[in-house]
Chains A and B, each alone.
Chain A
Amino acid sequence: MKNLIGKFEKVFINENVLESELAKRFQKLFSKEQIQVIQSEPYPESKGTLSAREFDRGKKQIHLTEFKGSFFKRCPGSKPGLACCNYYVLNLGLQCDMNCSYCYLQSFINTPVLTIYTNIDQALDELKEMADKGAFAQRLRIGTGETIDSLSLDELTLYSKKLIHFFKDYPNWRLEFKTKSNKVAQFLNEEHAGNVIVSWSINPQNIISQEEHGTATLNERLDAAARCLERGFQIAFHIDPMIWHPEWQESYASLVDELHRRFRPEQIPYFSLGSLRFQPEQRHMMRERFGMKSLVTQGEMFAGKDGKLRYDADLRQEMYQFVLGRFRALDPTWKIFLCMETPESWLGTYQAPPRRVKEIAELFQPITI
């Protein structure tokens, strides 16, 4: 916890949320010198597209404020032209304290601080209202890791506890934490309804070391997953984004082997696979922040159907088939799906659209809210 607090230079707290539970907790955890009470937005001059320097500074400064608007949204993968896995997102903050070279927040964020919303109770009210309107019976997957890592700051916010407690009353829904940290101790003793999935975005250790700065090592992530499993939480993994490098086959083969060594297919509801992709304008920020020695900035990217830059379609298919083949060779019952991919990629990899792949069809059934 000390290390985590030490990462931040400053905490801005909006005056109108000073009495919130979260703000009170932060006032206890951080020193008076670190905290600044403000009436409006921090750095009002830094609106719009941020410079690399402003983006970097934003990772070291927290802003506690209220979210005004609707917390609950569909995952951005639910777009025409991409096969969607019915994932919904609950955004409880914006920005991340870790620093992955490929992070999509680099093209998404226009606020120069790491924002954490204090009104989580309002988010839970929104979910309750939706349940009351009939969504209670739907098999929704709701994730909190879209615009902020679900758990890397959880020791500070303890939001996981509130969410797990809330989801106890909604056993048809699944709450999904998505993280690159190993911060799980704070919620392991919480009672839950067996509908909480703690998921890790993973990569081979050489990619973690080179591209996922400030994140937990692969071993730390897998250890944390094992601890969650022991306490009855479901776990999942996202091998995403797969990053091409000269030794990619060896690296990803050893990652699959390690997963197979430590876990069994019936313990893991699904794996998702995805390859490197980003909005074209993001390349400017990545180039400035990580230089051209990064495997991500060096990537041979082309505009895909959805406008994002991706590897050549044949190469993507080769990478997916390789990983899928490795899993299948070890045990054909591993459940694996492609994240944010085109129907062509599905056909190339599985020779079938996702709803016709037996192990994962359930994730792709259309639902209405």
Chain B
Amino acid sequence: MQIQLISQCIRDLDFSPTKPWPKTLPGIAWGQICVAGFAQNTVVNVATHSEPQPQTEEQAKEFAQVMADAHSHFSLRELAQLRQRLGQHLKMAEMIFTHLLICQGLRNSETLLEILDKLPQLPVEFQNWCEARDLGARELSIIKCFSEVSGLAPLALTIAQLGASRAHGVQLLELGGELLLMGHTWQDAKPDTGTSEAWLKKLESQRRPQTHARDQQKQEALSSLPWPEFLHTRLLRQGDKASLEVKFQFSTLEEFQKKNAGLMRVQAAFENLQSEGTP
């Protein structure tokens, strides 16, 4: 192990790691290749071989292990960057990357590689959003359906700009992506207001128009019933069922009986509605 000036190393693998390298430590190199601490002045060369870069499977494994140990965890954005840079600069790139994924507990699957190839083509803001929300490849799988990823760029950028939560963002990406693939334009799909909740509702109703219309019809029919004022009602969709939630409060038996009688008066009107064929 020896310390050398970083200027003697190649820093082409700098994949812009999110986690800053400790200022007081030298960087790490394997042969002539800097693998961590790209902005340091000196590096420790940890290679057990004299080659400037890995030449054999064994060396590729060692190289990948050093990278994995130095960075401990790679986000999808970092993996995507690193994959590009390895491919451009090292001969054993594919083997190194496979071992790097193994060190991360990931499988070198076609699905993952396709996501890693397409993610860098989306706006940087979105890549950073994915990283901050710790998204996995599965959650980005809609990207694979776009032969031209640029078609997804406005949607991805807006998700990032709205600072959507992980759960909202994943749903927005999927619903919005599907709508675009179904032929809707970005003008149709873009948010009308500045909240991800409102946008999600809009995309839900665009993606499931028949169900949305049925739910609205149901809601209107139920609203027309003579509900007593003390009742709070709303149509609630839980999975594949839309049903009515009725809430009221009471503190005495007398109060309960009174409110319950009011509720029972709705029954006759409800039966009429059903006999007319309203869902």
Contacts and interface: CB of A to CB of B under 8 A. Distances in A.
Contacts of A364: none
Interface string B157-193: 0000000000000000000001001100000000000
Nearest to A293: B182
Given A302-B239, A304-B240, A51 B181 contact: no
Interface in A289-318: 291-293, 297-298, 300, 302-305, 310-316
B181 A312 contact: no
Contact of B109 (A49, A284, A288, A315): A49
Contact of A311 (B110, B182, B240, B242): B240
Contacts of A359: none
Interface in A13-60: 45-49, 51-54
Interface residues of A, number: 31
- Judged by DSSP, the binding face of A is loop
A288 B242 contact: no
A287 B239 contact: no
Given A284-B141, A287-B142, A53 B214 contact: no
Contacts of A288: 141, 144-145
Contacts of B207: 300
B182 to A, nearest CB: 5
A51 B178 contact: no
A292 B182 CA distance: 5
Nearest to A311: B240
Interface string A166-181: 0000000000000000
Contacts of A302: 211, 237, 239-240
Interface residues of chain B: helix, strand, loop or mixed (majority) = helix
Contacts of A53: 110
Given A292-B182, A304-B240, A312-B240, A51 B107 contact: no
Contact of A312 (B138, B178, B242): B242
A291 B181 contact: yes
B279 interface: yes
A52 B114 CA distance: 11
A51 B239 contact: no
Contact of A287 (B108, B145, B214): B145
B161 to A, nearest CB: 25
Interface in B210-266: 210-211, 214, 237, 239-242
Nearest to A281: B138
Interface in B75-94: none
Contact of A313 (B144, B209, B240): B240
Nearest to B110: A51
Q: Which of B110, B207, B240 has the most CB of A within 10 A?
A: B240
Interface of B: 107-111, 114, 138, 141-142, 144-145, 178, 181-182, 207-211, 214, 237, 239-242, 279
10 contacts: A51-B111, A53-B110, A284-B144, A288-B141, A291-B145, A293-B182, A298-B182, A300-B208, A304-B239, A310-B240
Interface of A: 45-49, 51-54, 244, 281, 284, 287-288, 291-293, 297-298, 300, 302-305, 310-316
